[in-house]
Amino acid sequence: MSAPAVQEDAVTGRAPRPAGTARVLLAPITVTPSKPLTPSHLKGLLWTDVMYRASSVLADVTYRYSPTTYHLTEQTLGFWEYLDRTVGDADYSGLSEEQIGQLYVGYRAQEQKAGAGALRPYAQAVEEQGWVHPAGARVLELWTSHYARLGLHDPGLTVHQPPALGAEESVERLAALGFCLDLRACGGPVYLDATRHGLPLRQIVDPHGRPNYLACMMRELLSLAPSFDEVVLLYDRELEADYHLVERVLAASGTRVRRVVLGRVPIDGQVRSARHGGWQGNTVGALLDEAGAQGDQAVLRLGMRLYFIAVLGAGQQQSLRREVLHQSLARAAKLLAPGRAAEAAPVAEVLARHRKDHLHVNPYRLTSSLLARHRPAPARELLEAVYL
């Protein structure tokens, strides 16, 4: 008699683990598809990918990254309205990330933005039809090719993944938890209110009903998070205050939260926001074309992770240095070379060393251990499972 077929999880695409296995939710900050991926974006993506793949050996891990959820923010809807108003019915299918990014820089440079009435039809199309502007769809399409070259797990960049809660439901949920100050009845905004914990009020919905990214995040996480044993939030250092609020809210619903704070990658000593441009020649696409010129896919994938995780670390003290990146690629080639004595311990045992008191595997501790001198080379099985 043949064994029954194993059903795959609809979210993760992997076979479910046995009952009793710890459940972990990875929820990194989501990059809006309006500009090229930069080294700072790549750092966050690689940290999350290694954490996901390594932790999945030991736990049941869900990687939640939904562009759909954040299409409703003003910065995204405003950009789409700006494109339709200034560029018109254009064909974006042949444009590069850089070309669309330049349009975004022009949008952000405008002093006056479209009003709530102009954005309302866009919000309705996103909510009711899962609509994505052709420019955003083109950027997401280009990102999937970067993910494929880097061997990144694709959590559904081009898939319609609406948030679990409606806008009103999430406000009601926040109110039930005691974290909501809703002034809409008198024409005001909605605030995330954790003042009883000594944290300042944070507006999440403006007086015109437009949500910011925190409001969108609440729609996603308030329903998802309680089903997991651990929720890991990965985000930029500049968002520290907001994520303290998120942690407070989720903890109030009984969720165990871990925050992983990552510094951005300076270019020539300066940390720049992609919204202002200045990324020409330093996009992920440019780095991949340069680093992957020799054509060894495994070396490219491992070398990028060695550099952006182990060499740069979680901080932002070091600027992007191409010569050091190429040294990491050379080190990757040595680690992948046949004939070296390899780690004999089982992969799960090796990964478990880098968990400490949490359920997820620490990407920095694991990846920096690959660079330790006078130690056996990592087993090919480990590299295949986590890095390649």
Which residue ranges form the domains of the chain, and what is each CATH number?
A: 23-386 (3.40.50.620)
pLDDT at 172: 97
Average pLDDT over residues 145-149: 96
Poorest-pLDDT segment among 74-83, 191-200, 332-341: 332-341
pLDDT number for residue 20: 61
Whether residue 367 has pLDDT greater than 90: yes
What is residue 344's predicted lDDT score, i.e. its pLDDT? Answer: 79
Say whether pLDDT at 76 is over 90. yes
pLDDT of residue 268: 85
Q: Flag whether pLDDT at 83 surpasses 90.
A: yes
What tokens were used for 171?
């406000």
Residue 13 has pLDDT above 50, yes or no: no
Region 16-23: mean pLDDT is 67
pLDDT at 23 over 70: yes
d(CA 187, CA 206): 10
Residue 342 has pLDDT above 70, yes or no: yes
Tokens of 373: 């001198």
Rounded mean pLDDT, 67-77: 94
* Greater model confidence, 192 or 271: 192
Whether 42 has a pLDDT exceeding 60, the answer reads yes
Tokens of 143: 């990102």
| Average pLDDT of the chain to the nearest whole number | 91
Q: Is the pLDDT of residue 340 over 90?
A: no
Of 263-267, 305-309, 313-317, 337-341, which one has max mean pLDDT? 305-309
pTM for the whole thing?
0.91
Q: Which residues contact 152 (CB under 8 A, 6 or more apart)?
A: 45, 46, 49, 146
Token pair 């309006």 in the structure block, residue: 34
Where are the strands (E) in the chain, listed by range? Answer: 23-28, 60-63, 180-182, 190-192, 202-205, 230-236, 257-262
Residues 151-204: pLDDT tens digits? 999 999 999 999 999 999 999 999 999 999 999 999 999 999 999 999 999 999
pLDDT of 45 higher than 60 = yes
pLDDT, mean of residues 57-85: 95
Q: Please give the pLDDT value at position 12.
A: 37
For residue 9, pLDDT beyond 70: no
User: Binning pLDDT at 50, 70 and 90, where does residue 375 land?
Assistant: confident
Residue 5 has pLDDT above 60, yes or no: no
Q: Which of 384, 361, 388, 362 is nearest to 58 (CA)?
A: 361
Q: How many CA atoms lie within 13 A of 388 on its CB side?
A: 16
Average pLDDT over residues 87-92: 92
pLDDT in the model for residue 271: 79
Taking residues 278-302, report their average pLDDT. Answer: 87
Q: Say which residues have a Cβ less than 8 Å from residue 229's Cβ, sequence separation at least 6.
A: 22, 23, 24, 256, 359
Phi-psi region of 339 (alpha: psi -120 to 50; beta: other; left: phi over 0): left
233-253 tens-digit pLDDT: 999 999 999 999 999 999 998
What is the reported pLDDT for 373? 81
Looking at residue 3, its pLDDT comes to 34
